[in-house]
């Protein structure tokens, strides 16, 4: 399925690319709601030592054992994924979850702590005004989405293998790493950690993104030939 979408997106000169882009965006919109719980999945993943070993084992394959063909695929597929990330954080905002520390700033949100009980008829229990970190992250991801669109459509950045993918990794995980400093910890064991689990898991991806960008900029462009539309 992914290759089919990439093929459609690759038809730069005609209907195929527009259809492929629309298809990927629709897929992102449809799956954004179920994926809003990916944060909790990631936390559970990090709690197990065995899972940590598997995580870094698979990550270690990336710089040395990857296939360039897949990097080119990622250069195209990650463009709409940035939009999906923004939608996920919007879902977190609607669910009154994963918010930040108490703040005196005028845009602080009062979140409902007993959301499930409130939905069953109980009186809401509000937090003190807190940083809406979901909005901070969503805005970062929307800016990244616009940047990746510009790089792909206007600058032909896909001709530098890995440049878009590397920019995506940096644009997703570096803002998250920074915003985590003002976000409430999601698990009790994170209270004694200098960096929480989200930050620790973000570091390797930022490094991988920087490596991809440097690698892409140090190599010459490789023009990509797109299939020509058949004339009727």
Q: What is the pLDDT along the chain (232 residues), one digit of tens a residue?
A: 444 444 444 444 443 444 444 444 544 444 443 333 444 444 444 444 444 444 444 444 444 444 455 677 889 889 999 999 999 999 999 999 899 999 999 999 999 998 889 989 899 999 999 999 999 999 999 999 999 999 999 988 988 989 999 999 999 999 999 999 999 988 888 888 889 999 999 999 999 999 999 999 998 888 876 656 666 6
**pLDDT score recorded for residue 222:** 82
Which residues are within 8 A (CB) of 195 and not within 5 positions of it... i.e. 6 or more apart? 180
Q: pTM for the full model?
A: 0.68
Q: Taking Cα atoms as reference points, which of 180, 177, 179, 181 lies closest to residue 209?
A: 177
Residue 45 to residues 20, 26, 38, 175: CA-CA distances in angstroms?
Answer: 32, 28, 10, 21
Are the C-beta atoms of 163 and 75 separated by less than 8 Å? yes
**pLDDT score recorded for residue 50:** 43
Are the C-beta atoms of 149 and 80 separated by less than 8 Å? no
Whose tokens are 């669910």? That residue is 95
């Amino acid at each position: 399925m992914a290759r089919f979408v990439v093929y459609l997106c690759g038809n730069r000169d005609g209907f195929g690319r527009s259809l492929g882009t629309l298809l990927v965006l629709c897929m992102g919109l449809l799956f954004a709601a179920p994926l809003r719980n990916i944060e909790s999945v990631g936390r559970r993943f990090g709690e197990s030592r065995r899972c940590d070993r598997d995580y870094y084992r698979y990550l270690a394959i990336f710089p040395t054992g990857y296939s360039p063909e897949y990097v080119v695929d990622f250069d195209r597929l990650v463009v709409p994924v940035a939009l999906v990330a923004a939608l996920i954080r919007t879902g977190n905002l609607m669910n009154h979850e994963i918010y930040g520390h108490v703040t005196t700033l005028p845009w602080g949100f009062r979140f409902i702590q007993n959301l499930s009980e409130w939905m069953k008829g109980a009186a809401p229990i509000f937090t003190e005004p807190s940083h809406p970190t979901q909005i901070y992250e969503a805005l970062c991801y929307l800016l990244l989405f616009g940047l990746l669109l510009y790089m792909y459509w206007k600058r032909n950045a896909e001709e530098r293998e890995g440049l878009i993918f590397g920019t995506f990794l940096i644009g997703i995980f570096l803002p998250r790493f920074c915003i985590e400093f003002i976000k409430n910890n999601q698990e009790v064991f994170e209270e004694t950690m200098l960096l929480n689990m989200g930050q620790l898991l973000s570091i390797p991806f930022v490094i991988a993104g920087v490596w991809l960008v440097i690698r892409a900029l140090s190599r010459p462009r490789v023009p990509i030939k797109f299939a020509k539309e058949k004339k009727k």
